[in-house]
């Protein structure tokens, strides 16, 4: 069964996709790693970001963490400055 998750985009991820949020269809039981693979497939420019982090429900997530359709998911790009 396919579910769609909403992903919030910030900084360079928003610039590269031209959107502040995207809906990503995933199979039930999909992980953060599966999400990233799908995003890289749909938006190849995102694959060039080296230290892209994923937050799920306000907490940084590892690639093996499973996702549910109601999770709040955000891509956190690297931040520079000083």
pLDDT digits (tens, 9 = 90+) for 15-33: 999 999 999 999 999 999 9
Indicate whether 82 belongs to any domain.
no
| pLDDT tens per residue across span 19-74 | 999 999 999 999 999 999 999 999 999 999 988 999 999 999 999 999 998 999 99
Domain for residue 62, yes or no?
Answer: yes
Pairwise CA distance, residues 31 & 12, whole Å: 23
In a domain, 24, yes or no: yes
The number of folded domains in the chain is 1
Give the range of the structural domain holding residue 61, as residue numbers without chain letter.
Answer: 2-76
Task: Please answer whether residues 25 and 41 qualify as being in contact, where contact means their C-beta atoms are separated by less than 8 angstroms.
Answer: no
Assessment of whether the complete model's pTM goes beyond 0.85: yes
Domain CATH for 18: 3.10.20.30
Is residue 81 in some structural domain?
Answer: no
Question: How far apart (Å, rounded) are the C-alpha atoms in residues 77 and 39?
Answer: 14
Q: Does residue 63 sit within a domain?
A: yes
């Amino acid at each position: 069964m396919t579910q769609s998750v909403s992903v919030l985009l910030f900084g360079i991820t928003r610039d590269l996709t031209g959107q502040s949020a995207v809906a990503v269809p995933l199979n039930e039981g999909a992980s953060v790693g599966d999400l990233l693979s799908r995003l890289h497939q749909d938006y190849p420019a995102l694959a060039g970001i080296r230290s892209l982090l994923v937050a799920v429900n306000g907490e940084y997530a590892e690639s093996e963490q499973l996702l549910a359709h109601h999770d709040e998911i955000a891509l956190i790009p690297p931040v520079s400055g000083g």
